[in-house]
Structure 1
């Protein structure tokens, strides 16, 4: 396993991060703890969760993932783990979280941090992330910006000032973004420089063979501003494992939660998955190995967030770190991408 300083001066994190969004919904607490133990044994020191998890989000399981991680963390040396969590933004219909949530303002960010600290049973959070922008943005499968949907929102400077207070108090140690766009990353970076406010060390965005939108604008922005990419959904909700090609009802979130993950229901997804699965087999790889190794070893990926519902899946995902795509394989991947560009942005 490799370790990197996130964003150049953030925490030292493993190149593979264990995501926990299934804990409390698809995975019991015992299963979640077994996954955490397995990941740590194989060199992972980076754990990601969020106040809104488990996923799909609902009131009954809100905060369950953090609670499960917190109960596990309580029996380990705290300094041995880099713990990341996220504050939910408004405009997602999550009325059970902080009564809205209403905004990413000072009061809401403080309440969100305090709630996460209680559930995680810790005195500090290593990486605290804004789960998605408060402002109007196309997110989670939407793909067109619509200025007609503009709304009042907390200024970015005010968000940074609220985070600065929490940093000064020692409740959080580093800050990051999630599901951000180039304009947002640049605004956060510029305001941090101009006003001596906290610098965002990372952004957690979807990145996989079906969604390489990050490469178009964010790759340059993040490189120049020293913002590390935490790539999530490297297997595209399991589609890139190839399991849904032969059996659309194969076990997984797609079958378990109809209507969830609509970006992967778009018409270009299946032919792209078929092409990548065939390419993997020609090179003696499984589709999972191809998809994960591609993301793991991109120059701009600081750490890749993987998730699983079984230990067998987790073992396969971790083992894929050892697969290094050759130059010829990368050329063939790009050739497929040219004909099947971003079917699930």
Structure 2
């Protein structure tokens, strides 16, 4: 395994991060334990979860993933060897997260309630990286095309006030460092400026979707990541399985996320199939597993701190982890760019 610095925290995190959003629904507790055991044995010390998980979000399963991770760390006695990242939900009409049944927003009270509940489920007294899952303000996201701007209006809490609330839980020792997720260039820079101007906690990472079919991070956030030491934690690097080729030509594997939940419309937009087919064909012509080529590309980007992999089977997990040893040559990267210029960002 290889490691990288997480922002300016001084922490060394594995370049491959274990994503856990399937634990507690698509994967059982036993399967989650097996995945964490294998990942840890392979040198992965970076685990990512969220108060929302598992997916799809449901009141009856919410928080289940954190409970499984907490049980595993307690049984294995390895909390001090894991860099643990979780998230607080952004503004949402989902009303099952908070005790009062109110919709979610990033107020001081809700952030405090969220972190205390996560700590309890995770059976730990601190979280290494606490991330805002998505913005409090109204923004187009989760499949909305970021190269087509549409103004969205609605209520929001000021970013400096959100940072002040996060500052409180950092000073109390409940959280060591903070990060963002599903954020825009404006949002990232506003958090950075507010932190500097008011002596508040600095963000150290941005967790956004990034893959061969979604390189929108490069449009503004990549330079911020490099210059401000807020590296990308890339989620959905396989486009939720599409870049493996398993859904080609209308295939619907039994037990796959699409077959179980039919929630993958973000990766079924106009031009997506053509782009996916081109990348899968390129991988096979180069003698590579399509999943490993896709992951190797993400790992090769200079603004990426870690790539978040998720798997529903141990075979998938092993394939994904082994991508760390698949080289991304200049020639292959150029051939990928050539496809990208024809099929640019069909799945933002």
Q: TM-score, normalised by structure 1?
A: 0.97
Residue 315 (str. 1) matches residue 318 (str. 2): yes
Q: 247, 252, 257: which is aligned to 1:253?
A: 257
SS of the aligned residue for 2:32 comes to helix
Match of 1:31 in 2: 31
Q: Which runs of 4+ in 1 moved over 3 A?
A: none
CA distance in 2, matches of 1:115, 1:265: 35
CA distance in 1, matches of 2:323, 2:136: 35
- Counterpart mapping for 1:138-153 below 5 A: 138-143=140-145, 144-147=148-151, 149-153=152-156
Q: Deviations over 1:180-227 (max 9, x none)?
A: 000000000011111110000001000000000001110012212111
Give the Å deviation of 1:178. Answer: 0.3
Give the Å deviation of 1:247. Answer: 4.9
Residue 230 (str. 1) matches residue 233 (str. 2): yes
CA distance in 1, matches of 2:103, 2:303: 32
CA distance in 1, matches of 2:59, 2:66: 14
Question: How large is the RMSD of aligned CA atoms in angstroms?
Answer: 1.1
Give the Å deviation of 1:153. Answer: 1.1
Give the Å deviation of 1:120. Answer: 0.3
Match of 1:72 in 2: 72
Report which stretch shifted further, 178-187 or 293-302. Answer: 293-302
Give the Å deviation of 1:10. Answer: 4.7
Report which stretch shifted further, 130-139 or 149-158. Answer: 149-158
Gap change, CA 1:317 and 1:119, over 3 Å in 2: same
Residue 60 (str. 1) matches residue 78 (str. 2): no
Give the Å deviation of 1:127. Answer: 0.3
CA distance in 2, matches of 1:175, 1:109: 12
| Structure 2: tracts of 5 or more residues without a match | none
Give the Å deviation of 1:145. Answer: 4.1
SS of the aligned residue for 2:240 comes to coil
Q: 287, 311, 323: which is aligned to 2:290?
A: 287
Match of 1:159 in 2: 162
Residue 90 (str. 1) matches residue 94 (str. 2): no
SS of the aligned residue for 1:97 comes to coil
Q: TM-score, normalised by structure 2?
A: 0.96
CA distance in 2, matches of 1:322, 1:314: 14
Residue 111 (str. 1) matches residue 113 (str. 2): yes
Give the Å deviation of 1:246. Answer: 4.3
- Counterpart mapping for 1:204-283 below 5 A: 204-251=207-254, 252-258=256-262, 260-283=263-286
CA distance in 1, matches of 2:295, 2:17: 13
CA distance in 1, matches of 2:10, 2:210: 21
SS of the aligned residue for 1:198 comes to coil
Gap change, CA 1:204 and 1:10, over 3 Å in 2: farther
CA distance in 1, matches of 2:206, 2:111: 18
Match of 1:197 in 2: 200
